[in-house]
Structure 1
Amino acid sequence: MNYFLASQPAETVNVTVESSQVWEVLLGISGYTHAQLRHTFGLDEQWKTWKNTMSLELLQALKEIEETNLWYGMLLLQNHWGAKFIQDFLNAMDQESHQTLYEVLLPYHSQKTEANRKDTVLNYSDKIRFVQYAKSFQGHDYLEGYVRLLGERAIEDILSLMKTVTKEWHDFIRIQLVWDKWMQALRFEEKENQRLNRDQPVNEIQRVTGGAEYVPEPSVWHVKLVPHVSYRPWVLSLRTVDTKLLFYPVNEEYLTEPGQPSSVLISGHKALGDELRLQLLHTLMKGQQSLQELSGQFQISKTTLHHQLSILKSSGFISAEKGVYRANTDTIQQFSGKLNEYLGLKE
């Protein structure tokens, strides 16, 4: 017997670009409360100035977010709801069942532990299950503690804090002179990337984000690209059961006025304006090295070294994988070109 097998179209990941004032507010909160890396954020100096005009209620809420890492859950909720306006985001918290909220808030770990995650959601009143699932994230910078917190705190208290910090930050940031310009830039970024080549999702992700590398993952069928201003210069990534989120810096051209240096030039020169950082970059140009190797060579503590390397990394001059650092020669060469271009010099 002969069988005719009709060819099936190859399935590829669906890539979309999405921006909104809600995403920008939540990413502003996420960046401001990222104590470990905040010194590398493009808006850090501005935040220090703005802090004097923040309400006491906002400052207290931001402190709690920093301690609890609930910014992570807020991003997961916005991914689930896709709210365009702040009030829609706030209203949605009152409309979902507790079980649905835990389903969204409890982070995905792997296919191997997915049954445990589902079981924890179904039995969200049992704190022990949260403790057990948190062990899946042992060693992670914050997710182990975040999962434990979800089991320890009443969902009403969690939502109350999320509502307060979201509303207060929005009320604060939207009166800043740059806010309307940010919103215009984000809308333009989204509009410019509405039509993506669905046959080459990996290439499109790299093009839109300005170089972010994406490796296809099992069961991920949707990649959501979210441009931002507040979290610059970093690319932040999150993963749900079936979706990968990549938050990437908006195109600098949409924010820079004629004659004004871009934040890339400013942060780059700040990164290079230090003798130790220049020496580190010079060393890494000769070959990749681990944090341990660099610490021994420069005879400084790993904490100090990590701080200096994070500044070079935020400017794109170096990158790290599994604790090994290497120089990004292409970025370094492009930086020189951008300076010449800004100064009107011909290469």
Structure 2
Amino acid sequence: MDVLHLTSRKRETYEIRIEASLLWECALGIAAVTNKKLIDTLEKPKESWDRLKKSLSEPLIEDLKFVGKNNTWKSLLLLLHQKEFQGLSEFVMFLDELDDEKLRFICIPYIGVKFQKLRTLASKGEESSRNRLKTQTEANPFFPDYIDFICTTNVHDLRNHLKSVMTGWYKEVIIPQKEKLSQILGRDKQSKEKMSGNLKSEALVEWATGGITYLPEPSVHTVLLVPQMIYRPWNVEGDIEGVKVFYYPVANESIYPDDKDMPSNFLVQKHKALGDEARLRMVKFLKGSERTLQEITNELNMGKSTVHHHLKILRSARLVETEDGKYRLKENAVQTLSNELMQYLTDY
């Protein structure tokens, strides 16, 4: 059916904000080291993680166990979104000054405008509102238990835990590499700000994240881009009121600014992902049709956990995506891979 357009109003899109901070790197590091299911897909090799864990103090190890059990890394990220903190001391002071109810409210995940009243009532201790939030988030692997924990735990103990784990990780992990990390994050922020003058918002998000297509949503007016090292090659997504957040992996050129032949980390990840027989078989099986994890497992005659691991690698390389429990091949990403390689080879 033909459509007659009688309006001159353009489709609205979102604005872009870019923030870089060692505090983001700190909170994401705490999230990464306690994520047992994902840690073996991160760029940093297992041996590096093992050495890091052995170097940590006993009090910090205990704090991290608590994070792993209750997912309080989510609380840290939500709290960091409340303002642009200039440093750790300002963040700790902010935590000390928050009243108990406000602290609970911030730490409860934002799941949409229409659920804000439930979020407020749950922070006040209303059990029925808490249960409704848990029901609304049951598709998320950890939100229901996390919401229950935030709404029922002793706020004084929660506050002390958040201060302790953030301070411990910052002092033991961030400070030894503070100057190097600051330079890398700063360079990447500057490169994205420079490119923002040449790209529209949606194109900038896709470029910065290495392939995420994020279309405007009615309740989202801003996209916040936060460069991070620790979760490479993954993008980490988040939602706060009116804002979509992408903690995106810094580019290779931000890490090695003097190496003009350094390839894009996304180019490297794609070739690494395809450099395996099992993953190539998956790519071929997914071409042209969506498949469930069980269908892929049956086709390849492999263990479900092994298949899931390979799919994580393909997803992190932006070659495969998932929706409603089904996996699909991003055929455009595969088709453009040869062009990306030739561009790298001929770029002087």
Whether the TM-score (by the shorter chain) exceeds 0.5 is yes
Q: What is the TM-score normalised by the length of structure 1? A: 0.85
- Pick the aligned partner of 2:297 from 283, 295, 298: 295
Cα distance 1:61–1:339, how it changes in 2: closer, same or farther (>3 A)?
A: farther
**What corresponds to 1:156 in structure 2?**
156
**What corresponds to 1:235 in structure 2?**
235
Distance 1:287 1:268 in 2: 20
Distance 2:330 2:128 in 1: 46
Structure 1 residue runs without a partner (length 5+)? 1-6
**What corresponds to 2:90 in structure 1?**
88
**What corresponds to 1:144 in structure 2?**
144
Structure 1 residue 13: Cα displacement: 2.7
**What corresponds to 2:24 in structure 1?**
23
**What corresponds to 1:201 in structure 2?**
201
Distance 2:197 2:85 in 1: 26
Matches within 5 A, 1:169-188: 169-177=169-177, 179-188=178-187
- Pick the aligned partner of 2:65 from 63, 68, 75: 63
Distance 1:43 1:171 in 2: 20
Cα distance 1:11–1:26, how it changes in 2: closer, same or farther (>3 A)?
A: same
Whether the aligned pair in 2 keeps the contact of 1:42 and 1:267 (CA below 8 Å) is: no
Structure 2 residue runs without a partner (length 5+)? 1-7
**1:160 partner SS:** helix
**What corresponds to 1:3 in structure 2?**
none
**1:246 partner SS:** strand
**What corresponds to 1:33 in structure 2?**
34
Structure 1 residue 102: Cα displacement: 2.2
Distance 2:78 2:114 in 1: 21
**1:80 partner SS:** coil
Distance 1:13 1:273 in 2: 37
**What corresponds to 1:223 in structure 2?**
223
Structure 1 residue 332: Cα displacement: 4.1
Structure 1 residue 331: Cα displacement: 3.8
Distance 2:117 2:275 in 1: 51
**2:306 partner SS:** helix
Cα distance per residue 1:190-227 (max 9 Å; x no partner): 22333645994323322333332212222222221111
Distance 1:261 1:15 in 2: 26
**2:217 partner SS:** coil
Distance 2:270 2:201 in 1: 30
**What corresponds to 1:191 in structure 2?**
190
Cα distance 1:330–1:172, how it changes in 2: closer, same or farther (>3 A)?
A: farther
Identity among equivalent positions (%) equals: 28
Structure 1 residue 268: Cα displacement: 4.7
**2:295 partner SS:** helix
**1:92 partner SS:** helix
Cα distance 1:265–1:217, how it changes in 2: closer, same or farther (>3 A)?
A: closer
Whether the aligned pair in 1 keeps the contact of 2:22 and 2:182 (CA below 8 Å) is: yes
Cα distance 1:341–1:206, how it changes in 2: closer, same or farther (>3 A)?
A: closer
